[in-house]
Amino acid sequence: MSSKISPLLEPYLALPLEASLILLTSVLGASTNWLVLRFLHSALLSGDASLVDGDAEKVVLVIDQLDLLMATAGDQVGVMDVTDLLMGLREDVRSVIITLSADYPLLSTQQTPLETNHAAFLLNVAHQADLTLSLRLLDSGTARDVSGVVRITTRDQEMHDSGLARKIEERELLYFVGGDGGVRVFERGQ
């Protein structure tokens, strides 16, 4: 698997700002796994982070599919329970990267408690997120050289950390996940 980070993604994969929440959304067929690995790779390469098994000053917490907790626990765990859990965890770490499912059937009709809770939780996290990277399949169907689309949005155009400002450009990029796990990110028309 290639661990090379595309220059188009580098500005978004830098060590997350203090107290930031980064949301990665996926749909069936467009997994965030490769993106989470690039975040971890970028943080470890920068020297600003390391894998820890105890206390550390700059903990970046990665929570993969927290919405699964609501789906598997039934009525025992609701939106407020998971939201409170996330808020509590955010108080103890530098920043949080969270992945959630954003499949259309879970968000559109909301006829079951699971659909209602999932949509409410995703919307809540999306409103809190400083940066959102959403993965989806191509609208036009499948392509041999394109796996999907990554849409990058931000709550603020400029993110501040300790007096430093980073300009965050909202954009939409295409990506291709190769058979070896390598990922190529490119702009439309390239």
Per-residue pLDDT tens over the stretch 143-178: 889 999 999 998 865 555 544 456 678 999 999 999
Would you say the pTM of this structure is higher than 0.85? yes
Q: Which residues contact 64 (CB under 8 A, 6 or more apart)?
A: 32, 36, 98, 99
- Residues of the chain under the 70 pLDDT cut: 1-3, 47-57, 156-167
What sign does the dihedral 132-96-180-190 (CA atoms) show? positive
Residue 13 contacts residue 5 (beta carbons within 8 Å): yes
